[in-house]
Amino acid sequence: MTAFGIAPMAPDAAELPRRTLIQTLAAPDIEAQLDELATHAIGLTRAEATRSSDTPDSLLRRAGAFDPAAAAFLRNDPMGRRVLQGRAGKMVHLTADASGQVQKIVVRFPAEKVEQQSSHFTRLTIERDGTVFRARTEVAPLQAQVALGSGSIRTSLFAATDDANIPDAIASQMADMFSGDIDFHRELRKGDRFSIVYETLTADGEPINWDGGVGRLLAGEFTNNGKTYSAVYFKDSASGKASFYGFDGQSKRRAFLASPMEFSRITSGFAMRFHPILNTWRQHNGVDYGAPTGTAVRSVGDGVVEMAGWQNGFGNVVHVRHAGDRTTVYAHLSKIDVKKGQRIEQGQRLGAVGATGWATGPHLHFEFRVGGRHMDPRAIARASEAITLPNYAKAQFQQTVASVKTQLAVAETMDGVSAAD
């Protein structure tokens, strides 16, 4: 129940894809193929990615070639060797003739200079010239494209984003985008839906799969338990400040986050396999999050550490005092990273999940108190004050919202088309 498509940057609605692409296909460059066909009897280009276990022979075999001379070139030539040197995941387009003889290999991988890696890539071209091979490298700019994705939750958020070919980094940005609205650890429901617009970087038209290939999440809509939240990435051109905003112009940044743990593939898959020692202790006044020992625990809001140490029952515990006589409590920690009196920012790491004190397994016990009284943390996060967009930026913001609404509408229909399960 997921779909994925790619549209050009700032697309005209009429040009947006109307039909669903179930997955990104590594589309071979048709013109290059036609060129190959013109110069060689039969040339077939196959796309592959290098693996850490690859040898020249295994890579060629997977790409449909059998060519000892080409294998020797990849083994012995200083430029040829670069194909399998360093990190795996290089994108390989290999053109071979009908007998499996290599005509051309084009390999794309991250630019060598770190400062260029988010904007450029290296293109290594190896071409047969009679009985020898010639190789050359170029540095070429990456291109940003807008990608649309959508899905429905059946088991977990990451299962849904995997199905839609949405990169993990974008899934995490999505959890972050709605972190003031939805506690992704506890509130996801089967049937929840999302549509997103995000940037993807391409090398010669093909989405890149190496680190840094993921651009920004530009906009999203998330329907959780029947309620729809929407947000857009907006950079105020006057101040240069960027943040996520609701379509109504309210900043998504709240005084409190909905969850004291960052949502990740690891925490999302960790179910509580035990029951905390509740009734034998005292009335349970908090929220429990199952997570592996060592998972980072973050402060849900700005504040000052009021207590950091051992307390009966709680084990290692941190209390953070916030404005308005509000306090949050993080208990059973395996490790504490802050000190009493320390000033803390929202999202800052306080320590790590553990099972200290009265706990039968690793989990975070989290409390929210107002004037000493226990409150439902989720209700607090939602009610907390939001920041509104300055007046001068509103026209620019409305334009951005109008354009992403069109894209999100398209992303949604893609999901509908592929609803066959």
User: Which stretches of the chain bind Zn ion, using CB under 5 A?
Assistant: 276, 286, 288, 365
CB of 290 to Zn ion, least distance (A): 11
Phi/psi at 175 (nearest 5 deg)? -60, -35
Q: What are phi and psi for residue 39, nearest 5 degrees?
A: -95, -25
Between residues 61 and 374, which has the closer beta carbon with respect to Zn ion? Answer: 374
Name the minimum Å distance from CB 348 to Zn ion.
22
Measured from the CB atom, is 220 or 286 closer to Zn ion? 286
Least spacing, CB of residue 355 vs Zn ion, in Å: 12
Terminal-to-terminal C-alpha distance of the chain = 6
Distance CA 125, CA 58 (A): 19
Q: Which is nearer to Zn ion, 93 or 365 (CB)?
A: 365
In angstroms, what is the minimal distance from the CB of 278 to Zn ion? 7
Task: Please identify, using beta-carbon distances, which residue of 222 and 314 lies nearer to Zn ion.
Answer: 314
- Would you say 198 or 358 has its CB closer to Zn ion? 358
Contact 232, 216 (CB under 8 A): no
Tally of CB atoms within 10 A around 10: 8
- Check if the beta carbon of residue 191 is closer than 8 Å to that of residue 227: no
CB 161 within 8 A of CB 171: yes
DSSP, residue by residue, 312-356: TTTEEEEEEEETTTEEEEEEEESEE---TT-EE-TT-EEEE-B--
- By beta-carbon proximity to Zn ion, the closer residue of 276 and 377 is 276
Q: How far is the CB of 347 from Zn ion (least distance, A)?
A: 22
Measured between alpha carbons, how far is 234 from 400 in angstroms, rounded to an integer?
8
- Shortest Cβ contact with Zn ion: which residue? 365
Residue 210, amino acid: W
Q: Rank residues 207 and 286 by Cβ distance to Zn ion and give the closer one.
A: 286
Nearer to Zn ion, 128 or 363 (CB): 363
**Residue 201 burial (CB count, 10 A):** 19
DSSP at 389: P
Smallest gap from residue 286 Cβ to Zn ion (A): 5
Nearest distance, CB of residue 387 and Zn ion, angstroms? 31
Q: State in angstroms the smallest separation of the CB of 298 from Zn ion.
A: 18
The two structure tokens encoding residue 335 = 């490790």
What is the 3-state secondary structure of 115-168? HHCCCEEEEEEEEEECCEEEEEEEEEECEEEEEEEEEECCCCHHHHHHHCCCCH
Name all contacts of 228-235 with Cβ < 8 Å and 24+ positions apart.
229/178, 229/181, 229/182, 230/408, 231/177, 231/178, 232/400, 232/401, 232/404, 234/389, 234/393, 234/397, 234/400
CB of 271 to Zn ion, least distance (A): 16
Task: Tell me the residue type at 134.
Answer: R
Nearer to Zn ion, 285 or 399 (CB): 285
AA letter at 35: D
Cα separation, 29 vs 354, in Å, equals 51
Q: Mapping DSSP to helix (H, G, I), strand (E, B) and coil, where does residue 391 land?
A: helix
Q: Cβ closer to Zn ion: 123 or 365? A: 365
3-state SS of the chain: helix, strand, coil percent to 5? 20, 35, 40
Q: 12 is written with which tokens?
A: 């005209």
Q: Report the nearest approach of Zn ion to the CB of residue 85 (Å).
A: 51
